[in-house]
């Protein structure tokens, strides 16, 4: 079941190394991404989970090179997509990729579509831009995509405005738009958070089907572990701008290493006895302007020791797939014990 | 074309002149309105039985000649033959009769009815002879009754008085006999008249006269400088130098019949005492008004009669600027200097407001000069400007303490009844004549009355010379100055000769030098 | 599993008297008019709540779930008379709220409070935390200045915040902290009853539990009664004694929390539960019941059973006949012609 | 849509009614007697006919009778009375000039838009740049300079010194009988620019803040994620959304626009309703004042209606049946 | 812990332009107060002979066409212009805010009627009605202020109403109602403070508008009477060809002070808006 196939170089679609994205605000520097390493294999779904503000969206926007600048800037590291470094590409070259080889779905289907244009036109625009089709061909393509994402009466629906569609429909439109040019990489930033569970279920099933059909690789950003369990092959757990743990989905759920991952899993109401208090990770996420010197999770960590508060743990890479950033798994820890 | 007037020079023919007017005309049918914009244009299109020379003396107009029978008080006018209206219809005595019927009709809405009061009946003798019988002696009949309104084409007014009063089509496309024919009127833009080529006295030199409506004196001057108008009738004093500097333009200073004054309500207890009025007159520096405010473009006034007319009494001199004398007069009048330096009498302080109309810069300056001057006498003055309609309202109701105003546009036919006669005084509700200063002086009334019936010119002038002296003494209003105006015009425009009362007096003789035909 | 017909959970705090009913909602309807046409006349109604009846017992937590737009918030507000109901009655402690005068109502408001979903828009950004809470006390003339200040401190401590936060402004807090401030504000007047409109939906998973725990502790401590509105099924199941399920302005099922989740009677409830993703990757392959389509418009709801357009079990009868909301045994109510077993 | 327009028009009727009552009442308080305006204390005219004129003007009736008469005329004959000054129907006098005013105002509005929108966009996407600060400064200047002053300076500079444009009027003497577009445009240029000066200042400010709001929106990110060029993102996706609030603004600015146009008409000798009404005010020509007031109000109401229709056309979310 | 006003002041001080605006404005006000002591000449005495003199040691800003010292008139003019602008602004803000707040908060029929009245006032030719208002009273500073107020409050009312319509949907308004707060105190404590931004912006624009409107009124003889100077007055009387072409200083100096006042007020407004908002950066 686990994706343990031996990995060759060509299997890797995206390789992110030591990525640092900082925001230079009036109040100070926000290290939204502070040395992030992960990779994504072809045909794989990678879930990024983490607390609000941990840098999930910044990661996805960095992959698109859509960090608002100013104040944001990618200050270090590299993103290699299909063997090419995205960071050394010109803006024009990036534009050729966006919406074409790499596309993105956003959290808010309500506000992510331009309210004053018909939904069909908004997709056509993308198709005509990247695939040298004329308007008529593009329209046919849009209708095909609408059928693909399960929108009934596509001929009529292409002429509607976003506000005339329900949330679920709009998210389908967003997906159709993202799939328009057969992207190799689909980034979905909380695609279902704003939706009802019933609709979320429909959308998740749809994404799964499409992935099978089109063999797209997906980066799925979410904070819902249920969605992760449903969709992901591998999971990256982020906390305060850093990756604290990554592993295949089964290991993450069954054998979480990092105390934060563990806490997250234990906090899920469905995962605990229905009596007594819920398990809770106490405390709040640190202010990104003043991250603690040591492990950023230390102030909330049950296991934290003096060491954790004083210095930052290195990432321990067990394999290509598995990594954790915690003192608990170091020799130093054992010495303390 | 008809005959040719004396001295007509065909080489001068041609070209157009662009004039300006602050306001649009209201109606082009004579006497239906009293605004100067309308009057000026009417003057180009219509003619009366008599015309006036540059001194205001009656000369033949549509009447070739006339006789007067003193016994029956009857004028007989012999009309010019062969004259046609601009639409080609002949002019006859029927038109004259019709015209006067209109002017004198009881429902006629015109502001000049008093000019015709002395007419008792009009009889058509034949197609070109007409008799006017008067009901009293009228020294001014030839220059008022026979001159004050153009002759209308009867055939244009099928509904008679109703057309005269209300027919806008007629009001806006007039037909007369005059040197210019009406061509076009675009509201708030311009009014165009063109030469009447078959004018009985020979066509005017100019082909076309355009009056552009430019509502602001800065704009007027700019257009003159720019060459988009040819003549500005009266430049603002401080804009004269600007125009003078321009090589393509010339300026022309000319006299305007009239006088300016600081008025009072003579019924106001403060001003009822002649000594007070005299004191204020002595205390006002007229010399400065003329030299500094008007930059020399005026005559100091000694009374209401312009120095260029025979009624003026040259022996009457303007009041000196004499502060000591003024103070003495005030002391005599019982106004004693109070502790704060302001005079008072019977516990009442000598504090007055000097009103003027908003937008009139010269009057604003005069009011401020008066404030400064009279302060030295112990009189506290508050200058105060009013929007025109409010200014008038208060003026008519006698609510201003003192006000600054003028009385302009007269010539040798001046007649001051309206201004000084007690029967013309306004009542407290503001009804009545133009005697807004409420002068009530039996001596003045008597002179004014004799003057209108005295047909001997020399005796008549003498009456006003006496009046001049009397008024100067009384200072019912403080006479400040007689105006001179400065016109700005194109260097090449020739023969512009304003009379005391009419800038366009000889418009038909204006011409372009060297045949330039305008710029 | 808890299968007996006990009305409250065994672990329940204080001991709520089964019979004692705090809030009684009877056939409440709330129709929002839609205006239009030439004379701006009412052209139709959004039937946000269309005849809902239930009781909330003293000391219990009544959960309300359902898809977005089904009328959960509207009923919550109608109970507090923040919306005037179109018809029906709401009794609070035996008093008909809709008969109260404005001033009486304002006094009554001490007894019942509201906590909002959005921690960002529910606090006045111009007032400091202290001012926000103190205002509530001031309106009801509770104590003098120093007494009020003391109380504010108490309240902040009660919700787990430091007194030095008093002078801070809402924007300086995280979502969880703001929600605590909102709770403190609601508690300031010692209410008996609180409507919680999705109080944790906007919070991170790790923070959600903190707030839920706090709510439970406070309930225990003060004997509070909650109406807990949410679409997070697991949370509702955890916190509620009884749960009502709404669909298109109607209550379709009501019962003991565990009973309802274990043995849903209404197909809609079952679909809702099935849609909830299970946080276990090993179970992902299992066939799911996917509810097709969207919720129909509340302006012209479907005839008969409102769910029939999406119901996998619907039959002809469902289209014509509206099912009654009846007890299917043990106080487990459902409105379905073909209840599940 | 049709229903919407009809409804809005019907709604305007009571509004116009209120305006007419307010205006009429206020006017009856105005000092100064219109009959007096037909006399001139500065030259030799007699005023014995004043009573005749007063009667003709109907000034002896009480206010409410005059109002009733006026209203009757308006409703029954669609005529707004007769000018005191020359006895012509007010409608006719207004009709002669309305085209001038509208031409000026519409041109000025369009001109302002054409200039203000790019400026606003630019200062939004280059927020806090030097140019942005410069534009901010300009917009304060636009508020601080009185129209009459600006007009005079403009005439001196562009007409007298540079000789680019004629200083006054609506057309040259040559083109009174034939229409010459170029000549008209030349005459239109200065007055329109002067009116625009202030408008550009405020429109660009609003455009800037509206644009700043829009470019933060999610759908802009979506557009970028599609790979669209920045030009398309701004001018296709952002612009139309940013324009929406500006459309309403124009409707609200209309009354001020009229006021500004009136002053400009005076200085540029532009034949329009402004001069008509200023003259009417000075001579207390009540019927004309009423007429101009009503026509301006109708234009304002219509302008707002058009703004709303445009808004609805530009924003598909607006439904006509929602008020 | 600092008090709220101290916090506001601290934030305000951070904004350099706002502080500069405040200093300039304070100087202008000081100038107005101190006019009798710092003026080089007597404002009431002038000699027409001395008119149109360019700036010199004796007349630092030159003299105008009446021969009055421009600097002196600017000092005295500040009194009128600043008082008129600020007092009238205070009135328009008070009336406009209250009116708009009531209309927007209560909505429905009340709103409909109240807004139609605003429409009516806004569509009438202000010029004429200002004239009437002004002439019904004795001309002077207060006439100007009242005239400016009567027709100046509608814009504020409109904006405030619009803001309220959106604000009143916020949860914290509902929370206030839920806790038994009365309508009046909801408006004062929760609604108005949250729209202080737009209110300040309009208010500062009004100050500028009032300075200029005063001159229009005075020009018509309805306002401040000459020789009492006001900046607007001075600028208006300089609108004449030779003045602009040959004696530019007559227009330039009052113009400069108007611009200075307008800019400083707007900068203060911007600074104040940010300082009053606890969310703005410290
Ligand atoms: N435009 C920006 N300017 C300044 N800081 C920013 C900006 N965008 C993001 N950040 C900061 O970067 C950090 C990471 O934000 P990010 O949006 O990636 O969080 P997230 O994990 O997606 O959270 P959420 O679950 O709330 O979407 C946060 O601390 C945020 O404040
Ligand atoms: N003020 C209102 N005017 C008109 N319609 C309204 C109003 N408030 C709510 N509605 C409508 O009433 C219905 C029920 O709304 P309500 O907010 O109660 O739903 P909800 O169950 O709370 O949904 P959510 O989960 O999205 O909060 C919706 O269709 C909504 O559009
Ligand atoms: Mg995010
Ligand atoms: Mg809700």
Interface test with D, best of A114, A117, A187, A189 (most D CBs within 10 A): A114
Q: Are strands B180-186 and B119-126 parallel, antiparallel or unpaired?
A: unpaired
Q: Which two tokens stand for residue B473?
A: 């003494």
Place of tokens 């540079």: D162
CATH of region E4-34+65-276: 1.10.3720.10
Count CB atoms within 10 A of the CB of residue C64. 30
B509 CB-near residues (< 8 Å, 6+ apart): B204, B205, B495, B497
pLDDT, residue C6, reads: 35
Among the residue ranges B120-124, B280-284, E253-257, the one predicted with the least confidence is: E253-257
Assigned CATH class of D97-314: mainly alpha
B28 CB-near residues (< 8 Å, 6+ apart): B38, B41, B42, B45, B171, B172, B173, B174, B182, B185, B191
Distance (Å, rounded) from C-alpha B29 to C-alpha B177? 13
Ranges of chain C whose pLDDT falls below 70 = 1-19, 36-40, 287-288
Pick the residue whose CA is nearest to atom 25 on ligand 1.
A52
Pick the atom of ligand 1 nearest to A50's CA. Answer: 21
Q: Which among E90, E116, E91, E94 is positioned nearest to E103, based on CA atoms?
A: E116
Among the residue ranges B164-178, B382-396, B486-500, C293-307, the one predicted with the least confidence is: B382-396
Q: How confident is the model at residue E164 (pLDDT cuts 50, 70, 90)?
A: confident
* pLDDT of residue A144 exceeding 70: yes
Domain locations along chain A: 12-101+181-270+281-336, 110-180
Pick the atom of ligand 1 nearest to A58's CA. Answer: 18
**E166/C contact by beta carbon, under 8 A:** no
pLDDT, residue B278, reads: 94
**C154/A contact by beta carbon, under 8 A:** no
Cα-flanking dihedrals φ and ψ of residue B89, to 5°? -75, 145
Q: Is B177 helix (H, G, I), strand (E, B) or coil?
A: coil
Chain C residue with CA closest to E196: the answer is C126
CA B404 to chain centre: 17
Inter-chain touch C114–E180, beta carbons under 8 Å: no
* Across E13-34, average pLDDT: 90
Of E45, E219, E243, the CB nearest to B372: E45
Pick the residue whose CA is nearest to atom 10 on ligand 1.
A32
Pick the residue whose CA is nearest to atom 29 on ligand 2.
C69
- CA of A189, nearest ligand number: 3
D269 CB-near residues (< 8 Å, 6+ apart): B188, B189, B212, B213, B214, B215, B216, B219, D168, D169
pLDDT, residue B350, reads: 92
A85 CB-near residues (< 8 Å, 6+ apart): A78, A79
Pick the atom of ligand 2 nearest to C32's CA. Answer: 4
Instruction: For A208-250, give the DSSP string.
Output: HHHHHHH--EEEEE-S-HHHHHHH-SEEEEEETTEEEEEEEHH
Distance (Å, rounded) from C-alpha E228 to C-alpha E225? 6
Q: How confident is the model at residue E135 (pLDDT cuts 50, 70, 90)?
A: low
Place of tokens 């496309």: B173
pLDDT, residue C35, reads: 73
Inter-chain touch B184–D32, beta carbons under 8 Å: no
* Across B345-365, average pLDDT: 88
Cα-flanking dihedrals φ and ψ of residue C326, to 5°? -125, 155
Contact C201, C232 (CB under 8 A): yes
- The pTM for the full model equals 0.81
Inter-chain touch D301–E123, beta carbons under 8 Å: yes
Whether ipTM tops 0.85, in short, is no
**A55 CA from centroid of ligand 3 (Å):** 7
Inter-chain touch D18–E120, beta carbons under 8 Å: yes
**C229 CA from centroid of ligand 4 (Å):** 8
Distance (Å, rounded) from C-alpha C219 to C-alpha C200? 16
Q: Which two tokens stand for residue D43?
A: 């030259």
Distance to chain C for D11, nearest Cα, Å? 9
Among the residue ranges A11-15, B172-176, D260-264, D293-297, the one predicted with the least confidence is: D260-264
pLDDT, residue B464, reads: 92
Distance (Å, rounded) from C-alpha B200 to C-alpha B51? 14
Among the residue ranges A157-166, A259-268, E233-242, the one predicted with the least confidence is: E233-242
Distance (Å, rounded) from C-alpha C235 to C-alpha D250? 51
Interface test with E, best of B374, B385, B386, B400 (most E CBs within 10 A): B385
Contact A295, A329 (CB under 8 A): no
pLDDT, residue B332, reads: 93
Distance (Å, rounded) from C-alpha E185 to C-alpha E6? 25
Of E122, E245, E262, the CB nearest to D156: E245
Q: Is B24 helix (H, G, I), strand (E, B) or coil?
A: coil
Interface test with D, best of B187, B435, B517 (most D CBs within 10 A): B187
**C70 CA from centroid of ligand 2 (Å):** 7
**pLDDT tens digits, one per residue of B23-82:** 889 889 998 887 888 889 999 999 999 998 888 889 999 999 999 998 999 999 999 998
**E281 CA from centroid of ligand 1 (Å):** 18
Q: How confident is the model at residue E263 (pLDDT cuts 50, 70, 90)?
A: confident
Neighboring chain E residues of B219 at a CB cutoff of 8 Å: none
Tell me whether residue E55 is exposed, middle or buried, using C-beta atoms within 10 angstroms of its C-beta: 0 to 12, 13 to 18, 19 or more.
middle
**A199 CA from centroid of ligand 4 (Å):** 17
pLDDT, residue B148, reads: 86
Interface test with E, best of B214, B217, B218 (most E CBs within 10 A): B218
**pLDDT tens digits, one per residue of C194-219:** 999 988 888 888 888 888 888 898 89
Inter-chain touch C38–D7, beta carbons under 8 Å: yes
Distance to chain B for E259, nearest Cα, Å? 24
**C203 CA from centroid of ligand 3 (Å):** 13
Among the residue ranges B140-154, B303-317, C154-168, E204-218, the one predicted with the least confidence is: E204-218
Mutate to test the pocket of ligand 1, among A19, A26, A30 (most ligand atoms within 8 A of CB): A30
Q: Which among D294, D276, D181 is positioned nearest to B187, based on CA atoms?
A: D276
User: Do chains A and B touch by CB distance (3+ pairs < 8 Å)?
Assistant: no
pLDDT, residue E274, reads: 82
* pLDDT of residue B175 exceeding 90: yes
Q: Which two tokens stand for residue C251?
A: 């209550």
User: Do chains B and D touch by CB distance (3+ pairs < 8 Å)?
Assistant: yes
- CA of C64, nearest ligand number: 2
Place of tokens 């270090």: A76
pLDDT, residue C169, reads: 87
Whether omega before A70 lies within 30 degrees of 0, making that bond cis, reads yes
The length of chain E is 282
Q: How confident is the model at residue A214 (pLDDT cuts 50, 70, 90)?
A: confident
pLDDT above 70 covers a percentage of chain D that reads 89
Range list of H helices, chain D? 2-29, 50-57, 63-72, 90-125, 130-144, 147-154, 181-215, 218-225, 230-232, 239-267, 273-282, 286-314
Chain C residue with CA closest to E8: the answer is C126
Q: Is B230 helix (H, G, I), strand (E, B) or coil?
A: coil
**C68 CA from centroid of ligand 2 (Å):** 8
Distance (Å, rounded) from C-alpha B405 to C-alpha B407? 7
Q: Is B12 helix (H, G, I), strand (E, B) or coil?
A: helix
* Across A240-255, average pLDDT: 92
Instruction: For E129-170, give the DSSP string.
Output: HHHHHHHTS--SHHHHHHHHHHHHHHHHHHHHHHHHHHHTTS
A317 CB-near residues (< 8 Å, 6+ apart): A323
Touching E (3+ Cβ pairs <8 A), the chains are A, B, C, D
Assigned CATH class of A12-101+181-270+281-336: alpha beta
* Across B344-365, average pLDDT: 88
Q: Is D101 helix (H, G, I), strand (E, B) or coil?
A: helix
Neighboring chain D residues of A163 at a CB cutoff of 8 Å: 316-317
**A70 CA from centroid of ligand 1 (Å):** 14
Contact A334, A317 (CB under 8 A): no
User: Do chains B and C touch by CB distance (3+ pairs < 8 Å)?
Assistant: no
Chain B interface residues facing chain E, Cβ-Cβ under 8 Å?
Answer: 218, 221-222, 236, 238-239, 241-242, 288, 292-293, 357-359, 361, 364-365, 368-369, 371-372, 382-387, 390-391
Mutate to test the pocket of ligand 1, among A32, A75, A241 (most ligand atoms within 8 A of CB): A32
pLDDT, residue A2, reads: 42
pLDDT, residue D206, reads: 84
Cα-flanking dihedrals φ and ψ of residue B431, to 5°? -90, 150
**pLDDT tens digits, one per residue of A111-142:** 888 888 899 999 998 888 888 888 888 899 89
* Across E247-256, average pLDDT: 85
Distance (Å, rounded) from C-alpha C113 to C-alpha C195? 6
Inter-chain touch B436–D41, beta carbons under 8 Å: yes
pLDDT, residue B351, reads: 92
Distance (Å, rounded) from C-alpha D303 to C-alpha D321? 20
**C67 CA from centroid of ligand 2 (Å):** 11
**pLDDT tens digits, one per residue of C295-326:** 888 888 898 999 999 888 888 999 999 999 98
pLDDT, residue D15, reads: 82
Inter-chain touch C126–E194, beta carbons under 8 Å: yes
Chain C residue with CA closest to D320: the answer is C36
Q: Which two tokens stand for residue A15?
A: 């390789």
**pLDDT tens digits, one per residue of B380-393:** 998 888 877 778 88
Distance (Å, rounded) from C-alpha B359 to C-alpha B215? 13
Distance to chain E for D280, nearest Cα, Å? 10
Inter-chain touch E239–D289, beta carbons under 8 Å: no
Pick the residue whose CA is nearest to atom 2 on ligand 2.
C32
Range list of H helices, B294-415? 323-332, 361-375, 388-396
Count CB atoms within 10 A of the CB of residue E10. 12
C54 CB-near residues (< 8 Å, 6+ apart): C25, C62, C244, C251, C254
Ion ligand 3, residue ranges at CB < 5 A: A 57
Q: Which residues line ligand 2 (CB under 6 A)?
A: C 32, 46, 48, 66, 68-74, 231, 298
Inter-chain touch E178–C114, beta carbons under 8 Å: yes
Domain locations along chain D: 1-77, 97-314
* Across E80-90, average pLDDT: 91
**pLDDT tens digits, one per residue of B278-325:** 999 999 999 989 988 888 889 999 999 999 999 999 999 999 999 999
For chain B, what is the mean pLDDT? 89
């Amino acid at each position: 079941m686990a994706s343990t196939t031996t990995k060759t170089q060509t299997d890797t679609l995206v390789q992110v190394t030591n990525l640092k994205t900082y925001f230079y605000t009036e109040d100070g520097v926000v290290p939204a991404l502070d040395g992030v390493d992960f990779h994504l294999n072809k045909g794989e779904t990678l879930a990024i989970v983490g607390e609000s503000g941990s840098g999930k969206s910044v990661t996805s926007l960095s992959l698109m090179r859509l960090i608002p600048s100013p104040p944001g800037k990618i200050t270090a590291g590299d993103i290699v997509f299909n063997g090419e470094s995205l960071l050394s590409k010109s803006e024009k070259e990036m534009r050729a990729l966006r919406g074409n080889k790499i596309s993105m779905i956003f959290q808010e289907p309500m506000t992510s579509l331009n309210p004053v244009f018909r939904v069909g036109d908004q997709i056509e625009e993308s198709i005509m831009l990247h695939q040298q089709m004329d308007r008529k061909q593009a329209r046919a393509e849009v209708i095909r995509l609408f059928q693909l994402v399960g929108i009934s009466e596509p001929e009529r629906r292409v002429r509607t405005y976003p506000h005339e569609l329900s949330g679920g429909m709009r998210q389908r439109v967003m997906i159709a738009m993202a799939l328009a040019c057969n992207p190799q990489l689909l980034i979905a930033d909380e695609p279902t958070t704003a939706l009802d569970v019933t609709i979320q279920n429909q959308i998740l099933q749809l994404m799964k089907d499409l992935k099978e059909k089109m063999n797209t690789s997906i980066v799925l950003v979410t904070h819902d572990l249920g969605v992760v369990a449903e969709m992901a092959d591998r999971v990256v757990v982020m906390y305060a701008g850093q990756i604290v743990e990554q592993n295949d989905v089964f290991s993450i759920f069954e054998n979480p290493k990092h105390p934060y991952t563990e806490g997250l899993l234990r906090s899920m109401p469905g995962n605990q006895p229905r009596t007594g208090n819920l398990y809770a990770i106490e405390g709040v996420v640190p202010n990104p302007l003043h991250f603690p010197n040591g492990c950023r999770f230390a102030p909330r960590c049950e296991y934290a020791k003096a060491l954790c508060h004083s210095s930052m743990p290195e990432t321990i890479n067990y394999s290509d797939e598995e990594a954790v950033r915690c003192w608990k798994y170091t020799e130093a820890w054992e010495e303390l014990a | 074309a008809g005959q040719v007037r004396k001295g007509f020079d065909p080489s001068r023919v041609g070209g157009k002149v662009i004039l300006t007017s602050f306001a649009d005309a209201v109606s082009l049918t004579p006497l239906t309105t009293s605004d100067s914009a309308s009057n000026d244009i009417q003057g180009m299109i219509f003619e009366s039985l008599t015309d006036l020379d540059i001194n205001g003396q009656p000369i033949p107009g549509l009447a070739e000649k006339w006789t007067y029978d003193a016994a029956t008080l009857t004028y007989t006018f012999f009309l010019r033959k062969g004259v046609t209206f601009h639409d080609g219809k002949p002019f006859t005595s029927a038109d004259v009769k019709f015209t006067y019927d209109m002017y004198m009709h009881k429902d006629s809405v015109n502001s000049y009815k008093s000019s015709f009061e002395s007419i008792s009946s009009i009889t058509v003798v034949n197609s070109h002879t007409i008799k006017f019988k008067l009901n009293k002696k009228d020294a001014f009949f030839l220059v008022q009754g026979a001159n004050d309104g153009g002759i209308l084409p009867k055939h244009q007014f099928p509904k008679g008085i109703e057309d005269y009063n209300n027919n806008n089509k007629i009001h806006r496309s007039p037909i007369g006999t005059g040197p210019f024919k009406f061509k076009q009127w675009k509201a708030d833009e311009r009014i165009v008249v063109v030469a009447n080529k078959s004018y009985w006295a020979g066509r005017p030199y100019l082909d076309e006269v355009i009056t552009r409506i430019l509502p602001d004196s800065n704009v007027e001057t700019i257009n003159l400088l720019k060459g988009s108008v040819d003549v500005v009738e009266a430049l603002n004093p401080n804009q004269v130098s600007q125009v003078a500097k321009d090589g393509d333009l010339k300026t022309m200073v000319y006299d305007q019949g009239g006088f300016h004054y600081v008025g009072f309500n003579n019924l106001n207890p403060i001003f009822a005492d002649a000594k007070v009025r005299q004191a204020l007159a002595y205390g006002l520096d007229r010399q400065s008004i003329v030299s500094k405010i008007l930059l020399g473009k005026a005559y100091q006034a000694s009374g209401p009669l312009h120095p260029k007319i025979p009624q003026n009494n040259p022996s009457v001199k303007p009041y000196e600027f004499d502060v000591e004398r003024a103070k003495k007069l005030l002391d005599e009048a019982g106004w004693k200097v109070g502790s704060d330096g302001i005079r008072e009498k019977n516990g009442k302080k000598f504090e007055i407001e000097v009103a003027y109309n908003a937008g009139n810069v010269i009057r604003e300056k005069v009011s401020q000069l008066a404030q400064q001057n009279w302060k030295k006498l112990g009189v506290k003055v508050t200058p105060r400007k009013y929007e025109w309609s409010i200014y008038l309202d208060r003026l008519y109701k006698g609510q201003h303490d003192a006000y600054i105003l003028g009385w302009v546009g007269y010539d040798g036919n001046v007649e001051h009844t309206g201004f000084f006669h007690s029967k013309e005084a306004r009542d407290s509700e503001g009804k009545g004549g133009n005697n807004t200063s409420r002068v009530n002086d039996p001596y003045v009334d008597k002179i004014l009355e004799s003057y209108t019936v005295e047909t001997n010119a020399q005796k008549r002038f003498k009456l006003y010379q006496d009046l001049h002296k009397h008024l100067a003494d009384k200072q019912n209003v403080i006479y400040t100055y007689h105006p001179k105006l400065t016109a700005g015009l194109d260097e090449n425009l020739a023969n512009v000769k304003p009379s005391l009362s009419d800038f366009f007096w000889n418009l038909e003789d204006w011409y372009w030098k060297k045949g330039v035909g305008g710029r | 599993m808890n299968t007996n017909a006990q009305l409250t959970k065994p672990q329940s705090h204080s001991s709520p008297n089964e019979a004692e009913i705090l809030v009684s909602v009877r056939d409440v309807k709330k129709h929002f008019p839609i205006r239009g046409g030439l004379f701006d006349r009412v052209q139709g109604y959004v039937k946000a709540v269309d005849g809902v009846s239930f009781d909330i017992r003293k000391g219990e937590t009544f959960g309300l779930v359902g898809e977005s737009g089904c009328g959960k918030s509207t009923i919550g507000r109608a109970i507090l008379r923040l919306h005037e109901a179109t018809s029906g009655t709401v009794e609070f402690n035996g008093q008909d709220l809709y008969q109260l005068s404005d001033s009486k109502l304002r006094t009554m408001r001490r007894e019942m409070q509201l906590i909002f979903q959005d921690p960002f828009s529910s606090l006045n950004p111009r007032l400091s935390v202290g001012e926000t809470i103190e205002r509530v006390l001031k309106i009801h003339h509770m104590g003098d200045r120093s007494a009020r200040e003391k109380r504010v401190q108490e309240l902040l401590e009660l919700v787990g915040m430091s007194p030095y936060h008093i002078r801070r402004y809402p924007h300086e807090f995280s979502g969880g902290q703001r929600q605590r401030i909102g709770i403190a504000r609601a508690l300031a007047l010692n209410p008996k009853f609180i409507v919680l409109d999705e109080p944790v939906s906007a919070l991170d998973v790790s923070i959600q539990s903190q707030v839920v725990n706090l709510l439970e502790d406070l309930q225990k401590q003060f004997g509070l009664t909650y109406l807990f509105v949410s679409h997070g099924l697991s949370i509702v199941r955890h916190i509620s004694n009884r749960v009502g399920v709404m669909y298109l302005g109607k209550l379709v099922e009501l019962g003991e929390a565990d009973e309802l989740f274990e043995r849903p009677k209404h197909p809609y409830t079952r679909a809702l539960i099935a849609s909830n993703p299970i946080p276990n990757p090993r179970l992902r392959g299992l066939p799911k019941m996917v509810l097709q389509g969207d919720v129909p418009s509340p302006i012209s709801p479907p005839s008969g059973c409102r769910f029939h357009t999406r119901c996998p079990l619907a039959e002809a009868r469902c289209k014509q006949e509206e099912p009654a909301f009846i007890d299917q045994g043990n106080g487990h109510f459902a409105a379905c012609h073909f209840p599940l077993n | 849509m049709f229903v919407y327009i009809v409804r809005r028009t019907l709604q305007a009727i009571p509004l116009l009614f209120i305006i007419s009552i307010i205006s009429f009442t206020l006017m009856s308080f105005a000092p100064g007697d219109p009959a007096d305006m037909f006399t001139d204390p500065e030259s030799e005219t007699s005023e014995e006919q004043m009573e005749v004129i007063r009667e003709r003007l109907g000034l002896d009736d009480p206010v409410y009778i005059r109002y009733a008469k006026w209203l009757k005329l308006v409703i029954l004959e669609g005529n707004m009375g007769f000018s005191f000054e020359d006895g012509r129907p007010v409608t006719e006098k207004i009709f002669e000039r309305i085209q001038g005013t509208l031409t000026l105002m519409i041109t000025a509005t369009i001109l302002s838009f054409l200039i203000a929108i790019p400026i606003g966009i630019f200062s939004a996407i280059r927020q806090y740049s030097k140019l942005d600060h410069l534009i901010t400064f300009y917009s304060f200047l636009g508020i601080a300079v009185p129209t009459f002053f600006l007009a005079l300076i403009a005439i001196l500079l562009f007409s007298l010194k540079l000789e680019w444009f004629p200083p006054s009027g609506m057309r040259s003497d040559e083109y009174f009988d034939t229409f010459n577009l170029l000549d008209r445009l030349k005459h239109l240029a200065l007055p329109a620019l002067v009116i625009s000066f202030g408008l550009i200042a405020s429109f660009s400010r609003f455009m800037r803040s509206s644009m700043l709001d829009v470019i933060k929106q999610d759908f802009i990110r979506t557009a970028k994620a599609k790979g669209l060029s920045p030009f398309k993102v701004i001018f296709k996706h952002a612009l139309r959304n940013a324009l929406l609030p500006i459309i309403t603004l124009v409707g609200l600015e209309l009354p001020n626009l009229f006021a500004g146009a009136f002053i400009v008409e005076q200085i540029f000798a532009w034949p329009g309703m402004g001069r008509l009404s200023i003259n009417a005010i000075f001579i207390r020509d009540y019927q004309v004042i009423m007429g101009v007031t009503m026509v301006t109000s109708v234009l304002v109401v219509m302008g707002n209606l058009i703004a709303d229709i445009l808004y609805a056309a530009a924003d598909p979310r607006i439904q006509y049946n929602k008020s | 812990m600092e008090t709220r006003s101290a916090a506001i002041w601290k934030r305000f001080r951070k904004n350099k332009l706002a502080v500069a605006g405040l200093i300039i404005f304070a100087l202008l006000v000081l100038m107005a107060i101190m006019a009798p002591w710092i003026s080089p000449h007597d404002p009431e005495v002038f000699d027409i002979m001395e008119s149109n003199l360019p700036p010199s040691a004796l007349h630092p800003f030159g003299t105008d066409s009446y021969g009055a010292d421009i600097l002196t008139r600017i000092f005295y003019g500040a009194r009128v212009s600043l008082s008129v602008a600020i007092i009238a602004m205070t009135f328009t803000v008070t009336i406009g805010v209250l009116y708009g707040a009531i209309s927007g908060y209560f909505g429905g029929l009340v709103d409909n009627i109240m807004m139609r009245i605003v429409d009516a006032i806004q569509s009438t030719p202000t010029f004429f009605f200002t004239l009437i208002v002004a002439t019904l009273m004795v001309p002077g500073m207060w006439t100007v202020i009242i005239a400016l107020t009567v027709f100046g409050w509608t814009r504020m009312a409109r904006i405030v109403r619009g803001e309220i319509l959106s604000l009143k949907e916020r949860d914290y308004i509902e929370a206030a109602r839920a806790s038994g707060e009365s309508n009046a105190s909801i408006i004062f404590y929760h609604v108005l403070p949250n729209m202080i931004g737009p209110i300040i912006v309009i208010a500062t624009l009004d100050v500028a508008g009032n300075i200029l409107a005063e001159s229009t009124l005075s020009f018509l003889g309805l306002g401040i009477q000459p020789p009492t100077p006001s900046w607007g007055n001075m600028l208006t009387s300089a609108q004449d060809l030779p003045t602009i072409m040959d004696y530019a200083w007559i227009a330039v100096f009052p113009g400069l002070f108007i611009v200075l006042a307008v800019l400083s007020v707007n900068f203060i407004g911007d600074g104040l808006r940010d300082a009053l908002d606890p969310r703005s950066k410290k």
